[in-house]
Amino acid sequence: MITLLARQSVDRKVSDHVSVIVGNYEYYYACGLLDRRLSLGLSADIKPQELYEKMQEVLSDVPVEAPTSADTTDDDYLKYLIKRYEPDDNYDEQMKELLAICTLQLSDEVLP
């Protein structure tokens, strides 16, 4: 249930360009989406601090201010969401699942 709620929450935030990531579950799913789109090669068992450092490196050119232009893409907003979130040290198997699910060969109807 937690994984479903995190997926729905992030998918909605990205498509509507609203809100921010509010927890590690959402963060892991969002990072998985970015990994899927950019082929970052993230390991599913990466811990929060290591994932944060990797994302900050990958997104070093992304501003921490919310994108406001009319031509902001979903990818731009996804990068913004990931860039501004700082995960805590909590980690469990559901986070691993949320990161890994995005790299599975699923149709675009299932994942954006």
- Tens digits of residue pLDDT in 20-64: 999 999 999 999 999 999 999 999 899 999 999 999 999 999 988
- Predicted TM-score (pTM) of this structure: 0.88
Instruction: Please name each of the domains of the chain with its CATH number.
Output: 2-101 (1.20.58.1400)
Whole-Å CA distances, 68 to 22, 46, 76, 92, 105:
20, 32, 10, 34, 32
Taking alpha carbons only, the member of 101, 7, 88, 78 closest to residue 47 is 88
pLDDT higher than 90, residue 6: yes
Which pLDDT value is given to residue 110? 45
Q: What values do phi and psi take at 77, rounded to 5?
A: -70, -40
Which pLDDT value is given to residue 69? 83
